[in-house]
Amino acid sequence: MAILRLKEMRGMDVGQIDGKIKELYAEYSKMKSQVRSGGAPENSGKMGNIRKTIARLLTIKSQKEKAGETAPAKAKAEKKAEAKPAKTVEKKAEKKVEKPKAAKAEAKAAPKKK
């Protein structure tokens, strides 16, 4: 028995998927601690179903994020993170290019001493 149907999972947005993952992981942790303490779980097959459902939700979440269905705040943060390194790399590249040209010009202008 599936905890969530695939159709239901695909109908959720990224925020809902995050909430459901946290909920399922909490339930899984409870069952896991019950087994480790020596008790028998009510339904041993449910643990496997929870793990598989979490994996499916994570897969659908990553697919939606790649498709551009990310949350607005997260998308803004990603854009800022991408923009900063690109500018610094360009500035560093410009500085490296300018230095050799200046050194060549100074070498040509200076008289040679023997």
In a domain, 114, yes or no: no
pTM value?
0.57
Query: In terms of domains, do 65 and 13 share one?
Result: yes
Query: In terms of domains, do 81 and 102 share one?
Result: yes
In a domain, 100, yes or no: yes
Query: In terms of domains, do 5 and 23 share one?
Result: yes
Query: In terms of domains, do 96 and 42 share one?
Result: no
pLDDT surpasses 60 at 14: yes
- 36-46 in b/e form (b: 16+ CB < 10 A) is eeeeeeeeeee
Distance, CA of 50 to CA of 41 (rounded, Å) = 13
For position 24, what pLDDT does the model report?
A: 95
pLDDT tens digits, 15-48: 999 999 999 999 999 999 999 998 888 888 999 9
Question: Can you give the residue range of the structural domain that contains 4?
Answer: 1-70
Q: Domain total for the chain? A: 2
Query: In terms of domains, do 76 and 60 share one?
Result: no
Question: And the tokens for 88?
Answer: 């610094």
Q: What percent of the chain has pLDDT over 90?
A: 46
For position 29, what pLDDT does the model report?
A: 94
Query: In terms of domains, do 59 and 79 share one?
Result: no
Rounded to 5 degrees, what are φ and ψ at 74?
-70, -40
Query: In terms of domains, do 77 and 52 share one?
Result: no
